[in-house]
Structure 1
Amino acid sequence: MTEPEVSDSLKTFGVVLKALRDETGLTQEEFAHRVGYSPGYVAKIEQGKRFPPRDLAERAEPVLGPLAAKLLRAAARSLTRKVGLASWFHEWAAIEEEAVSLYAYECRVIPGLLQPEPYIRAIFERRLPPLSEEQFESQVAARLARQSLLEERPNSSFTFMIEQALLERRLGGDATTDALIDNLLTQGARRNVEVQIMPLRQEDHFGAGGPMYLAETPSNQWIGYFEGHDSSLLQTDRKAVSSMLRRYDKMRAQALSPRDSASLLEQMRGAQ
């Protein structure tokens, strides 16, 4: 899988973290275990290939000491990232990286974590104003790199609810739709991933409010997320997030089960 371009400040942060970890004599695996992240995630932060989570310094302080935590906070303040992830998406991307549960409902476009490369390219080809070739390839690479979460976090639960209309639309044509359906079947077969299709006809539908994403943090706090036109909103108000969770639970009961969803996808694939 292609890794995204990294900025100098991300590389610097990674070097600082590695030096502080080495100073304590801890391996990546030992440090990762003590701060509650996977070794692969820590490795990519040290390589400058992942944006560090907001609470890394806080988690690292009992392990590396207060001075090290102070240095990490200072390095974090200077971070920039020139990869294809939009600036307004960075905070949610960091939350995704450490979520123990992730819920997604989409009625506009297939969730980014489930998009195969042909589908990603079909989306960015229709971006206005048009992207430069460098921007185009950078954004494709960044989106593909994010998808490693499904493999790297086998103990996290991912639930995706997708409107059948998104498949019937056939964005990008038959070959792109074939690749999309194949990928949904492949990812949905993972033990930690569920893919549910909301059928075209559903008279009792609780999704009129539009797409929504929900993440459960390692401290079991739920955070909501919405996207608009080149903008986003994190929702941390407990009452509002509770309302989102209730709507999501209702919709999960209205959508096809993961098994029935897979059967529908196989039927759609075979009918093409």
Structure 2
Amino acid sequence: MADEVGDDDAGAARSGNEPETSDSLKVFGAVVKAFRKRAGLTQEAFAPLVGYSVETIASIEQGRRLPPVGFVEKAEEILDAFGAIKNAARFVGRKPGLASWFRPWARLEQSAATLCTYENRFVPGLLQTPGYARTIFSGRIPTLEDEEIETLLIARVERKKVITERPRTIFSFIIEEHVLRRQTGGPEVMREQIAHLLDLCERRNVDIQIMPQSRGYHVGLNGPMQLLETPENKWYAYCEGQETGQLISHSQVVSTLQKRYARMRAQALSVEDSVSLLREIQGAL
């Protein structure tokens, strides 16, 4: 997906990568809602049966969220929907704001059991504040219209909900120190961004580690990467470059990237030391 904003929206606002409209999402949500009501289930009763939060169910039924991998099968089975939910899912498109090459990963991301991210260019997209993201979007080449920037910001905010809506998902982030010392958007934007990171560090399911500048060499220098474990314990990886992204399912390649990530966690600062460094950087702004 190769974007300058953090792993998801590059090029999505341009016609070449423009996702489908949200009409198909709304239709899919209406189908799920109809069969849920036919089964006599409230959203509160339905949510634990499919293994997702009430907020996620509401978002899907309102056409505001792509159904996570696994939801379709579970909903179809529980609601005895005669194949209607599966068929509707075939035509589901993503709301504007996600690049075409990133959409398969974004769909996996929404139901991940574990999600690991190493980033050496910018704060990862899932962790960005609106001010930070707007700064990056506004500086893109080719330049974007104001409306396009707003579309990307809406998609970013929607995607970030995975952290708060999935408290049982384990999130691990490794970020290069220079990314946090670069005053992207100026001191005020970075103070807000670092404060947001510190808030996230308090969540039991989120680990943020900093790769210190003093670390002369580490095994992640080949570039950013993401690793993901599905609820079925299948692992995938995602890597990106300029205007492209690669979803990797080959077990041997994924295993190699897992080993690199594990070594990076040992080479980075501990979670506690990373929090101390974040506070130091924040105080210097």
CA contact (8 A) 1:206 1:251 kept: yes
Measured after TM superposition, the shift of residue 151 of structure 1 is 1.3
Provide the rounded CA distance (Å) in 1 between the counterparts of 2:22 and 2:106.
16
TM alignment of 1:89-104, pairs within 5 A: 89-104=102-117
SS of equivalent to 1:18: helix
Provide the rounded CA distance (Å) in 2 between the counterparts of 1:193 and 1:55.
23
Residue 106 of structure 1, aligned match among 110, 119, 124: 119
Q: 1:9 to 1:163 in 2, by over 3 A?
A: same
| Counterpart residue identity of residue 114, structure 2 | S
| Counterpart residue identity of residue 33, structure 1 | P
Provide the rounded CA distance (Å) in 2 between the counterparts of 1:257 and 1:25.
49
Provide the rounded CA distance (Å) in 1 between the counterparts of 2:39 and 2:213.
57
* 2:168 paired residue number: 155
The answer on 1:64 being equivalent to 2:79 is yes
Provide the rounded CA distance (Å) in 2 between the counterparts of 1:271 and 1:250.
30
* 1:28 paired residue number: 43
Residue deviations 1:16-70, cap 9 Å, x none? 1110111111222332222222222111111101011243332223312261xx2
Moved more, 118-127 or 221-230: 221-230
Moved more, 167-176 or 183-192: 167-176
SS of equivalent to 1:225: strand
| Counterpart residue identity of residue 189, structure 1 | E
Moved more, 239-248 or 24-33: 24-33
| Counterpart residue identity of residue 271, structure 1 | A
Q: 1:61 to 1:79 in 2, by over 3 A?
A: closer
Provide the rounded CA distance (Å) in 2 between the counterparts of 1:241 and 1:206.
15
Percent of aligned pairs sharing the same letter = 47
The answer on 1:129 being equivalent to 2:142 is yes
Moved more, 241-250 or 168-177: 168-177
Provide the rounded CA distance (Å) in 2 between the counterparts of 1:132 and 1:182.
29
* 2:131 paired residue number: 118
- Which has the larger helix fraction? 1
SS of equivalent to 1:196: strand
Provide the rounded CA distance (Å) in 1 between the counterparts of 2:249 and 2:135.
33
Residue 167 of structure 1, aligned match among 165, 180, 189: 180
Measured after TM superposition, the shift of residue 219 of structure 1 is 0.9
Moved more, 173-182 or 210-219: 173-182
Query: Which contiguous aligned blocks of 4+ residues in structure 1 show a shift greater than 6 angstroms?
Result: none
CA RMSD of aligned residues (A): 1.6
Gaps of 5+ in 1: none
SS of equivalent to 2:193: helix
Measured after TM superposition, the shift of residue 158 of structure 1 is 0.7
The answer on 1:217 being equivalent to 2:224 is no
Residue 256 of structure 2, aligned match among 234, 243, 258: 243
How many correspondences in the alignment?
266
SS of equivalent to 2:144: coil
TM alignment of 1:134-213, pairs within 5 A: 134-213=147-226
The answer on 1:232 being equivalent to 2:232 is no
TM-score by length of 2: 0.89
Q: 1:231 to 1:93 in 2, by over 3 A?
A: same
Measured after TM superposition, the shift of residue 123 of structure 1 is 0.4
Gaps of 5+ in 2: 1-19
Provide the rounded CA distance (Å) in 2 between the counterparts of 1:260 and 1:35.
38
TM alignment of 1:17-56, pairs within 5 A: 17-56=32-71
CA contact (8 A) 1:6 1:48 kept: no
Q: 1:60 to 1:82 in 2, by over 3 A?
A: closer
Residue deviations 1:61-115, cap 9 Å, x none? 3312261xx2122212222234222222222111111111110000011101110
Provide the rounded CA distance (Å) in 2 between the counterparts of 1:83 and 1:189.
32
* 2:3 paired residue number: none
CA contact (8 A) 2:21 2:93 kept: no
| Counterpart residue identity of residue 99, structure 1 | A
